[in-house]
Amino acid sequence: MKPPRSSRRWTRTALVTAILQATMPVTPATPVPGDGQAAGPAPGATIVELQASRRSDTVTLLDAAGQHGSATLTNLNPAINAWFVLTMARSDRPGAVSYHLENAAPLTQRIALDAARPGQLTITAEGSVHRCALWPGDALEQARRTVLPYAPLCDARLYLRNPVRGSRSTLEATTEFLRDHVWRGEQIVGFVRREFYRDAFVERARPASASSGASPSPPSGAPPPARLADDAAPRGVIAEGLGIDLGARNGALFIGQWNAAAGLEGIYASVAQPAALAVGAVRARALDPIEADALAFLVAFDLSAFDLGFALGTEHPRLGWSAHMRDDLHDARLPGPDGFDNAAPLVRTGMLSPALQARAVATFTGGFKREHGAFRFGPLAAVNHGSHYGFIEQGVVFSTLVPGLSTLYVLHDGSVGMKTWQREDDRLLGQIRHARQNGVPLLERGPAGGAAVFGSLVDQWGPGNWSGSADEKLRTLRAGACLVEDSAGAGPLPSRRFLVYGYFSTATPRAMARVFQAYGCAYAMHLDMNALEHTYLALYPRSGSSIGVEHLVQGMAVLDKSAGDALLPRFLGFADDRDFFYLVSRKERR
């Protein structure tokens, strides 16, 4: 049966109207200064001071009425050239005011203060120079007073990022309330998760009819199929929960085979059952019967066609200390492991920039919240203040990347990598556009370029920080990602590379590792778990000026919103409190 597409579609005009109705401005938090310590973050550190590559220029302001002051423009990472902080100090107003500006075309557009015309910016792009007057006048404050998360400036060559409230589901709001305000609230959340959500989303395959025929030839450009177990023959199944339109292949799908997503070149989907797939030479413990038979859905993105990005949610992951870390490593003198617990003067919008929306092809949720984004047990718990998971957006370090953790990253040239971070990798920091750490590896690269092997902590609940219960009941809804490097072409380097997202309807880390290994992944890592909002993935097929929405699992549609007749997809149509990854077409890069 053909999975239904969304019955409504949205256009950019409808989207802007809906955002005006659906977003609410909020006052950004005030930085909380810490008392510092001999080594590590300085007292009163802010996120701007954490940026080692930042560059600032200042001009003096003076108007005809004799009012004066200064303007300081800070490029937070010149190699990435995406985010700026403009700080205005005026004699007629107390204190300085900072604005978070986003470059709409960081690859081709350069922003600078105009020293000859104080109060103006020069915007240079492809040999043309545009000037934008921000002072005197109230252009910045007028943009700040809008309800838009991205307020256009300078003929939309720049955006002022404004704080908005991020959406969250009822489940998300309830668990957050319990964790933040109820004594032993985390234990209550854990009990509910174990007793009521453990297998709540399990997907089962229904055998296809005998008329479904033999396994079809793989579509052109697809990754290699998964390796099946020795005793498993190719067989067709019906995956009723799958929400992606596979065109002619809707109906019977073959375990381990890739299928082209209809209308989305370079994107492929597959279904898997762990028990039907081959196991590598090094085995983890046997799978239990439930997870062995439960369906997993995978989506592969050809990285030659798409750019990968990452964006923080309006609230998560937070920047303060994790409640999960060991108490004896908590430094009460500092609000967080990097010396701050909020991003001011930067603004986290929780949605994709308008400059990228026309190129968007997919989004999916990111990793664990800060509450669980540190270690309490094992070697990583005893170093680096519990090894809080790090993350970088648009070249800006929000939380320092920590050695020993699985890291998905994007360099300034758009190349995508996935590895266990080491201290010597810090040399890459000036080149990183995006990065997200999330625990320890499910799969690690094999020795001498051989097949990937199971991560050493896959079967260790505490040291692996896999979440779940203390008695190692780790089976639940989970999501992860991996890199497939297909060396079918000539030469020593992979000829094709794919980012693969995996949705596991109920699984332990060992089942995830087994599936990713069978699909030929070179490296794999965990993302998030336990609920559809934590494992959301949507594709955006296009038809003329309108964009459709297809969810990896049909039930994920409940996370989207409506405003009148307009459908608002999560992360595109409204701000969300959770972090997310996005893929955009490489065509028309700016």
Q: Do 521 and 441 meet the contact criterion of CB atoms below 8 Å apart?
A: no
Mean pLDDT of 388-406: 98
**pLDDT value for 207:** 75
Query: What average pLDDT is seen over the chain?
Result: 84
Return the top range by mean pLDDT from 4-8, 161-165, 562-566: 161-165
Query: Total domain count for the chain?
Result: 2
Q: Indicate if the pLDDT at residue 530 is higher than 70.
A: yes
**Cβ(278)–Cβ(518) below 8 Å:** yes
Statement to judge: residues 569 and 440 lie in one domain: yes
* Among the ranges given (176-190, 245-259, 512-526, 540-554), the one the predictor scored with the smallest mean pLDDT: 176-190
pLDDT of residue 527: 97
13 falls in which pLDDT band (50, 70, 90)?
very low
Which residues lie closer than 8 Å to 82 by C-beta, 6 or more apart?
A: 102, 103, 106, 394, 395, 433
Q: Identify whether 21 is part of a domain.
A: no
Q: How many CB atoms lie within 10 A of CB 121?
A: 23
> pLDDT at position 36, please?
29
Q: Check whether residue 83 and residue 180 sit in a common domain.
A: no
pLDDT for residue 239: 87
Question: Is residue 133 included in any domain, yes or no?
Answer: yes
Q: What is the mean pLDDT of residues 514-539?
A: 95
Output 267 or 475, whichever has higher pLDDT: 267
Q: Which range (101-115, 182-196, 481-495) has the least confidence?
A: 182-196
Per-residue pLDDT averaged across 349-378, rounded?
Answer: 95
Rg of the chain over CA atoms, in angstroms? Answer: 24
Examine the domain organization and report whether 137 and 154 are in the same domain.
yes
What's the rounded mean pLDDT across residues 439-460? 91
pLDDT band at 302 (very low <50, low <70, confident <90, very high): very high
Q: What percent of the chain has pLDDT over 70?
A: 81
Indicate if the pLDDT at residue 588 is higher than 90: no
Residue 213: per-residue pLDDT: 58
Tokens of 168: 């969250």
> 313 versus 15: which is more confidently predicted?
313
pLDDT of residue 304: 96
**What's the confidence (pLDDT) of residue 114?**
92
Regarding whether 447 and 392 lie in a shared domain, the answer is yes
Q: 12 falls in which pLDDT band (50, 70, 90)?
A: very low
Tell me the percentage of the chain whose pLDDT exceeds 90: 62
Region 458-476: mean pLDDT is: 79
Whether residue 449 is found in the same domain as residue 318? yes
Q: Which of 112, 141, 161 is the last residue before a domain boundary? A: 161
pLDDT above 50 (res 363): yes
- CA angle 248/249/255 to nearest 5° reads 170
pLDDT for 509 beyond 90: yes
Please compute the mean of the pLDDT values over residues 357-381 and round it to a whole number.
95
Bigger pLDDT: 231 vs 57 = 57
Q: Is the pLDDT of residue 143 over 80?
A: yes
What residues make up the domain containing 87?
A: 29-161
In a domain, 324, yes or no: yes
- Is 411:431 a contact under the CB 8 Å cutoff? yes
pLDDT of 411 higher than 90: yes
- Average pLDDT in the 42-67 region? 83
pLDDT of residue 234: 76
Average pLDDT over residues 127-147: 89
Residue 446, pLDDT > 90, answer no
pLDDT > 50? residue 324 = yes
Q: What's the pLDDT at 29?
A: 34
Mean pLDDT over 79-108 rounds to 92
In a domain, 215, yes or no: no
Kindly state whether residues 176 and 156 are assigned to the same domain.
no
Looking at the fold, whether 494 and 372 belong to one and the same domain comes out as yes
Q: What is the structure's pLDDT at 5?
A: 46
Give me the pLDDT at residue 563, please: 79
Q: What value does the mean pLDDT take over residues 189-215?
A: 61
Please check whether residue 287 lies inside any domain of the structure: no
Q: Residue 454: pLDDT above 90?
A: yes
Spatial neighbors of 13 by CB under 8 A, at least 6 apart, are none
Taking residues 328-351, report their average pLDDT: 94
Q: How many CB atoms lie within 10 A of CB 380?
A: 22
* Same domain, residue pair 392 and 516: yes
State the angle between helix axes of 170-181 and 185-196 in degrees (0 to 180), rounded to the nearest 10: 140
Q: What are the distances in angstroms from CA 354 to CA 148, 249, 366, 551?
A: 11, 34, 20, 21
Question: For residue 219, is it within any domain?
Answer: no
Helix (H, G, I), strand (E, B) or coil at 30: coil
The verdict on residue 43 lying in a domain is: yes
> Which of 132, 161, 190 marks a domain boundary?
161
- Residues 293, 119: Cα–Cα separation, whole Å: 65
pLDDT reported for residue 21: 42
Beta-sheet strand order (sheet of 128-133): 109-113, 120-125, 128-133
Rounded to an integer, the average pLDDT of 456-462 is 92
Q: Phi/psi class of residue 213: alpha, beta or left (left: φ > 0; alpha: ψ in -120 to 50)?
A: left
Q: Do 124 and 182 have their domain in common? A: no
Of 79 and 166, the structure prediction assigns the larger pLDDT to 79
Q: What is the pLDDT of residue 303?
A: 97
- pLDDT exceeds cutoff 70 at 38: no
Confidence tier at 204 by pLDDT (50, 70, 90): confident
Q: What pLDDT is recorded for position 9?
A: 53
Name the DSSP letter for residue 204. Answer: -
For residue 266, the model assigns a pLDDT of: 96
Quote the pLDDT of residue 300: 98
365 and 471 both lie in a single domain: yes
Q: Quick check: is 303 in a domain?
A: yes
Mean pLDDT of 255-280: 93
Q: Identify the burial level of 231 via C-beta atoms within 10 angstroms of its C-beta, where 0-12 means exposed, 13-18 middle and 19 or more buried.
A: exposed
Q: Tell me: do 380 and 495 sit in the same domain.
A: yes
Separation of alpha carbons 322 and 369, rounded Å:
9
Q: What per-residue confidence (pLDDT) applies to 366?
A: 96
- For position 218, what pLDDT does the model report? 84
Query: Nearest-5° angle of CA 386, CA 387, CA 389?
Result: 130
Which amino acid would we find at residue 344? A
pLDDT for 195 beyond 60:
no
Considering the domain architecture, whether residues 496 and 539 belong to the same structural domain is answered as: yes
Question: What is the band of 537 on the pLDDT scale with cuts at 50, 70, 90?
Answer: very high
The predicted pLDDT at position 212 comes to 57
* Planar angle of CA 495, 497, 499, nearest 5 degrees: 175
Higher-confidence residue of 410 and 489: namely: 410
Buried residues in 301-324 as b, exposed as e (16+ CB within 10 A):
bbbebbbbbbbbbbbbbbbbbbeb
Q: Which of 271, 214, 219, 225 is nearest to 244 (CA)?
A: 271
* Res 264: pLDDT: 95
Secondary structure of residue 530 in the 3-state scheme:
coil
